[in-house]
Amino acid sequence: MKEVNSVAIVGASPIEGKIGNVVLKNVIRSGFKGGIYPVNPKYSEVMGLKSWPRVGDLPKAPDVVVIAVPPKAVHGVLAESISVGAKLAVIITSGFREVGNVGLEEGLKRLVMGGGIRVIGPNSAGITLMGLGLHASIEVLPKRGPIGLIMQSGALGGVVIDRLRKLSSGISFFLSLGNMLDVDVNDAMEYALHDGETRAVIAYIEWLRDGRGFIRSALNLNAKKPLCILKGGWGLRSSEAVRSHTGGLATSYEVFKAAIRKVGAYLAEGIDDLVEVCEGLRRIKPIKGRRVLIVTNSGGLGVITASHLESMDLDLPRPSTALQQELRESAGKAFTGSNPVDFGGDASIDQVVEALKSRRIASEYNLAILAYVPTAAEPPEKLCEAMKLLEGCGVPLIAYFDGEGREEVVQHVSRYVVTVTSSITAGRLIKALYSRARLLSLEGGARALH
Ligand code: COA
């Protein structure tokens, strides 16, 4: 949607804790500039706003109707929304296909098919469109940023938003698709493709309605903006859980994996790598080779990082003699090993950062990893000051900080450098950056042939 002039919240309530209360509060708090219409026949006013008994009583047709009334009342509200000419209904109410009430959901579908309205849900956590200042959702208000979220789980959307905030990032939109009665993953990817604020996309998918359409939309989207996907339900029990969560048949994991390979998108194994790899793909330009330099102050962390990268088929060549010399001189300190370059536990962040500023690194490596365990004398603010100096240092850089207070450190330094919370994720991100470079060069080649 390019424009939303007004929102009706049906089931809006002054009672703390009720869903209609949370949604209305979030719409008001998000600073939405258009008309906000609470609809509930019990009240003449809710949160200082005039309340209307029914959608049909509103002074003009709302663009968006958010529905948070009991399941049996949804049909009537939706019918009325269609008759007044609303453009989008977001049904937060659950209790449909996912609990076996297939008939109730089919009734809604029939209405939608005849009616010129688009519907998100039912069983949705709501929508957030940051560009329009609209947060019509039961989730906490997210930080604004460049990542679009397409989620078949509302709560998981909240988790991803929290993770992004901890990486100093935020979202451009969040569509909680629920049972996908009408708007599905493919529609949401179309939206992401054309949304000017969105630079990369995270999707959590349990099932697909149209596999071919998915490949088409995902190919288009991923060619322009990195697409990172977590698939829910890849075993027998978890597939059963999908049916009672979003009412669909979990798409086979093998089939899904094959589709993702075709698309060239990133398939995550968990929430951390989903979010961290997406942020990395957004911030670091794709890399044309797999030569990686590891710089560390911890022998152990360096060895573990090197082991993970090697097992992922990444190359860890030794630095040339000239580079070794330069690293030593810039750091003002000797190191052991050759890759990982280990400056030892008595090195300061300033020394390690000085080494990483060496221009020669970029001529020998495609990317560098800083694997660092801060000492007690290095609080997050100090690390931040040091990392600031590495912005635009020449070689693409990933920072992996570990040890006590890691969360706080990551929250601080991620403002200046891409951070990961494990060496496995570091490896996965590097591979994704390399694959993306190949994908884009193939795309470029294909375009040149036409
Ligand atoms: N038009 C306008 N308002 C209506 C209405 C109608 N046709 N029918 C009922 N209402 C109002 C009620 O007056 C009530 O107001 P109050 O809260 O001030 O008393 C409000 O809607 C809610 O109705 P109520 O009967 O109290 O239901 P509830 O709050 O117990 O449950 C839902 C309603 C939608 C929250 C519940 O059915 C539900 O689906 N919960 C789960 C939601 C969820 O998890 N979604 C997925 C997230 S990922």
Cα-to-centroid distance, 128 and ligand 1 (Å) = 20
- Alpha-carbon gap, residue 158 to 163, rounded angstroms: 9
Q: Give the pLDDT of residue 236.
A: 81
100 and 49, same structural domain?
A: yes
In CATH, what number is assigned to the domain containing residue 363?
A: 3.40.50.261
State whether the beta carbon of 39 lies less than 6 angstroms from ligand 1.
yes
Which of 10, 40, 159 to probe ligand 1 with, by most ligand atoms within 8 A of CB?
A: 40
| DSSP letter assigned to residue 357 | T
How far, in Å, from the CA of 16 to the mean position of ligand 1?
13
Which ligand 1 atom is the nearest neighbour of the CA of 13? 18
Q: Is pLDDT of 346 > 80?
A: yes
90 touches ligand 1 (CB under 6 Å): no
- Does the Cβ of 68 fall within 6 Å of ligand 1? yes
Final residue belonging to a domain, choices 138, 170, 192: 138
CB 27 within 8 A of CB 134: yes
pLDDT value, residue 391:
82
Q: How far apart are CA 319 and CA 327, in angstroms?
A: 9
> What is the average pLDDT score of the chain?
94
Average pLDDT score over residue span 132-144: 95
Residue of 10, 15, 16, 19 to test ligand 1 pocket, by largest number of atoms within 8 Å of CB? 19
**337 belongs to a structural domain:** yes
In this structure, are 249 and 314 located in the same domain?
A: no
Q: Where does the pLDDT of residue 448 fall: very low under 50, low under 70, confident under 90, or very high at 90 and above?
A: low
CB 137 within 8 A of CB 125: yes
Amino acid symbol at 60: K
In tens, the pLDDT along 103-112 reads: 999 999 999 9
Note whether 324 and 378 are same-domain residues: yes
pTM for this predicted structure: 0.95
Task: Determine the atom of ligand 1 nearest the C-alpha atom of 121.
Answer: 46
- Give the residue whose CA is nearest to atom 39 of ligand 1: 93
pLDDT tens for residues 41-68? 999 999 999 999 999 999 999 999 999 9
| Mutation probe of ligand 1 site: the residue of 15, 18, 21, 90 with most atoms within 8 A of C-beta | 18
In this structure, the answer to whether residues 77 and 120 fall within a common structural domain is yes
Mutate to test the pocket of ligand 1, among 21, 69, 96, 161 (most ligand atoms within 8 A of CB): 69
Asked if pLDDT for residue 37 goes beyond 70, the answer is yes
Torsion, Cα 120 124 126 131, to 10 degrees, reads: -50
Region 108-136: mean pLDDT is 95
- Residues spanned by the domain of 333: 286-435
For 330-339, which contacts have Cβ atoms below 8 Å and span 24 or more sequence positions? 330/354, 330/355, 330/357, 330/358, 331/355, 336/299, 337/299, 337/302, 339/293, 339/294, 339/306
Residue % of the chain over a pLDDT of 70: 98
305 vs 308: CA distance, rounded Å: 5
230 shares its domain with 131: no
Shared domain check, 269 and 303 = no
The answer to whether 232 and 269 are in contact (CB under 8 A) is no
Does residue 113 line the site of ligand 1, with CB under 6 A?
no
CA distances from 366 to 261, 285, 362, 431 (A): 24, 11, 6, 11
- How far, in Å, is the centroid of ligand 1 from the Cα of 278? 36
Domain with 33 in it: what CATH number? 3.40.50.720
pLDDT at 2 over 80: no
User: Which of 234, 267, 283 is the last residue in one of the domains?
Assistant: 283
CA 40 – ligand 1 centroid, Å: 10
Same structural domain, 134 and 152: no
**Residue range 428-436: average pLDDT?**
98
How many whole angstroms from 78 Cα to the centroid of ligand 1? 14
